[in-house]
Amino acid sequence: MGQLNGPSPEFPPLFILSGPREIGKTTFLKMLIDQTRHLNIQTAGVLSPALNENGQKIGIDLIELRTGNIKHLATLRQTESEGVLTDRWAFSEEVMDWGNQVLARSIPCQLLIVDELGPIELERGQGWQNGITALSSNQFQAAVVVIRLELIEKALALWPQANYLVIKQRNELELAKFREMILAAV
């Protein structure tokens, strides 16, 4: 577990969730979202679940949390891939734009979720800039953002008041405690 700041009168709680690739960050968020729906907590933002084939991650979808709308966000990068490219993925420009629009209209809300902000946003200044704006707006009771381990310092420069959890292994007890901490903040 990373730093846990006390309540701040200036900022609503912002939680950074991080960990190695495919450790279960999105699965954690799915469970959190299920709990928020059960508790009638107004949750907005985006979730980026993996598309798997034969146990291999081959793509990424994008789900708008308010409506449940789903679009195909990314595929494994090939030599001829087009769109917004990273070393591993080819992101659909159209779906990236849609996700950015979703994030712009996600606030105000009780719980804001942004899965995830990566090098496209935090190093290139592209992609889901509206996610950064929404997280900086304080127009939520609590927020959770997924950030890669190598980008935590950049995220903390933007949000020094943030609490963060680094998932090192799938420890259900620790994850349940973190979900409860987030729900208590809403």
Note the pLDDT of residue 88.
84
Q: Is pTM beyond 0.85 here?
A: yes
Q: Between vectors from CA 105 to CA 89 and to CA 146, what angle results, nearest 5°?
A: 40
3-state secondary structure the chain: CCCCCCCCCCCCCEEEEECCCCCCHHHHHHHHHHHHHHCCCCEEEEECCEEEECCEEEEEEEEECCCCCEEEEEEECCCCCCCEECCCEEECHHHHHHHHHHHHCCCCEEEEEEEEECHHHHCCCCCCHHHHHHHHHCCEEEEEEEECHHHHHHHHHHCCCCEEEECCCCCHHHHHHHHHHHHHHC
Query: pLDDT tens, 33-42?
Result: 999 999 999 9
Find the mean pLDDT for residues 44-52.
96
- Which residues fall within 8 angstroms of residue 120, CB to CB, at 6 or more apart? 84, 86, 91, 96, 126, 127, 128
Q: What is the pLDDT of residues 124-177, one digit of tens each?
A: 999 999 999 999 999 999 999 999 999 999 999 999 999 988 888 777 888 888
pLDDT at position 50 is 94
pLDDT digits (tens, 9 = 90+) for 7-16: 445 789 999 9
For residues 61 and 26, the answer to whether their CB atoms sit within 8 Å is no
Task: Identify the pLDDT of residue 6.
Answer: 46
Exposure letters 164-180 (e unless 16+ CB within 10 A, then b): bbebeeeeeeebeebbe
* Pairing, β 109-117 against β 43-47: parallel
Confidence at 5, pLDDT banded by 50, 70, 90: very low
For the segment 71-124, what is each residue's pLDDT rounded down to a tens digit?
999 999 887 778 788 888 899 999 999 999 999 999 999 999 999 999 999 999
- Give residue 55's pLDDT: 86
Domains, the chain, with CATH or none: 14-48+62-71+93-185 (3.40.50.300)
